[in-house]
């Protein structure tokens, strides 16, 4: 019993990371109809920006105000770098293709992913090899009723939940959110009603890419190792989660991320020798969900797009 609970606890942190990536992918798909396969790589940009800043700030393991402040500044720089990179990608690589078929935007984002990964490999000092990411969160472990809970997990989950609630508030309650939802619903009508579609879309890219940056930073804090292609895994998992939930729906993305994280943990935990088959289980679930509910779990049943 304890083992099961322990597996679930470990899964929750993964769920949190996937959820942030999936919501960004889902939002982007909703507003421009293009699957952005460079999403995770944009997050990687943030991680390496933060790492670069961290090398400038002295980190002593004892803590202290300057360390906390330095770490905070580094993480903020990382998130900001991701957001800026996301807007640049939209303006330079995706917006010029707005009138072309969606697959061309997808391919363009693949090219962007190449550029980001190779730029890190070539221009970041020693970027070809995995680098260690300092563990900024003290390695404290709590024991609750026989289950060990890492402080890192707690922080990750709290941050993710806060962000999800904030995003939901922004999308549901603010003026910007109303504009976003109108674009999600129908881009042409939103444009004709005076919504500044390009500006709002760019802002959504900043927001979503910032989330990707946070997710990648969370993953860096979780594993303490970063490398140039870490974003690809995030993209694939986040994308899967977004699709299981239904593209274009952020709550669906959340649900999908939780499912993906739980399935991964369950396969690794309960099936003997199962950790090698984690991804197989996740994608088999994806295919099953798509066949049973072709537009994802929370997707709207619309007219077939031709």
Partner 1 sequence: MASAVSQQPAGLWSRLVAQAAVVAAFPLAGLFLLHAGVVVTVAATLLLVAAAAIPGIRTRVSATGRALLARSSSFWAACLLGAALVPLVMGTNGYWLFVLSIAMVFAVMAIGINIQLGEIGVINLGYAGLFAIAAYTSALLSLAGWPVWAGALAATFLCWLVGALLGLCSIRTSGDYFALVTLGFGLITHQLIVNLGWLTNGSNGITNISPISLFGHTTKNPIDLPFLSLPPEANGYFLCLLILAGAVLVARRFRNAWVGRMWATVRQDSFGAACFGLNVPMFRLKTIALASAFAGPSGVLFAHLIGFISPDDFTMLQSIEVLAMVILGGMGNIAGVLVGAIILYVAPEKLRFLGDYRLLIYGLMLVVILVYRPKGIIPDPRRIFDRA
Q: Cα 173 to chain center, whole Å? A: 23
* Binding interface with partner 1 (CB under 8 A): 29, 35, 37, 92-93, 96-97, 99-104, 106-108, 110-115, 117-119, 121-122, 236, 239-240, 243, 247, 276-277, 279-280, 283-284, 286-287, 290-291, 294-296, 304-306
**Between 175 and 305, CB nearer to partner 1:** 305
213 close to 78: Cβ distance less than 8 angstroms: yes
**Between 101 and 196, CB nearer to partner 1:** 101
C-alpha distance across the termini of the chain, in Å: 50
Smallest gap from Cβ 97 to partner 1, in A, equals 6
**Between 150 and 279, CB nearer to partner 1:** 279
Smallest gap from Cβ 173 to partner 1, in A, equals 29
Beta bridge partners of 149: 142
**Between 8 and 232, CB nearer to partner 1:** 232
Distance CA 150, CA 121 (A): 32
299 close to 249: Cβ distance less than 8 angstroms: yes
222 close to 13: Cβ distance less than 8 angstroms: yes
Query: Cβ neighbours of residue 159 under 8 Å, at least 6 residues apart?
Result: 16, 214, 218
8 close to 262: Cβ distance less than 8 angstroms: yes
**Between 140 and 275, CB nearer to partner 1:** 275
From the list 159, 216, 204, 158, the residue with the least C-alpha distance to 26 is 204
Smallest gap from Cβ 288 to partner 1, in A, equals 10
Angle between helices 197-223 and 151-173 (to 10 degrees): 170
**Between 181 and 278, CB nearer to partner 1:** 278
């Amino acid at each position: 019993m304890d083992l099961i609970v322990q597996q679930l606890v470990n899964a929750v942190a993964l769920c949190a990371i996937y959820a942030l990536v999936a919501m960004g992918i889902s939002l982007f798909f909703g507003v421009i109809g293009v699957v952005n396969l460079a999403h995770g790589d944009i997050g990687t940009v943030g991680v390496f920006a933060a790492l670069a800043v961290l090398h400038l700030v002295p980190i002593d393991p004892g803590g202290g105000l300057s360390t906390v402040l330095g770490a905070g500044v580094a993480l903020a720089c990382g998130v900001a770098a991701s957001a800026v990179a996301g807007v640049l990608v939209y303006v330079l690589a995706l917006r010029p293709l707005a009138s072309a078929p969606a697959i061309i935007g997808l391919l363009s984002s693949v090219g962007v992913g190449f550029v980001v990964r190779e730029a890190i490999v070539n221009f970041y000092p020693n970027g070809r090899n995995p680098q260690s990411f300092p563990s900024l969160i003290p390695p404290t472990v709590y024991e609750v009723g026989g289950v060990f809970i890492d402080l890192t997990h707690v922080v990750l989950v709290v941050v993710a939940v806060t962000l999800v609630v904030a995003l939901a508030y922004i999308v549901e309650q603010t003026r910007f959110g109303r504009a976003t939802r109108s674009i999600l619903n129908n881009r042409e009508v939103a444009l004709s009603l005076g919504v500044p579609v390009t500006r709002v879309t760019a802002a959504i890219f900043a927001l979503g890419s910032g989330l990707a940056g946070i997710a990648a930073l969370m993953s860096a804090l979780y594993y303490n190792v970063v490398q140039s292609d870490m974003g690809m895994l995030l993209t694939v998992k986040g994308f899967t989660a977004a699709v299981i939930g239904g593209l274009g729906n952020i709550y669906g993305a959340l649900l999908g991320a939780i499912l993906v994280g739980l399935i991964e943990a369950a396969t690794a935990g309960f099936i003997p020798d199962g950790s090698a088959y984690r991804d197989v289980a996740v994608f088999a679930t994806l295919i099953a969900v798509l066949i049973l509910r072709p537009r994802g779990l929370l997707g709207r049943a619309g007219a077939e797009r031709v």
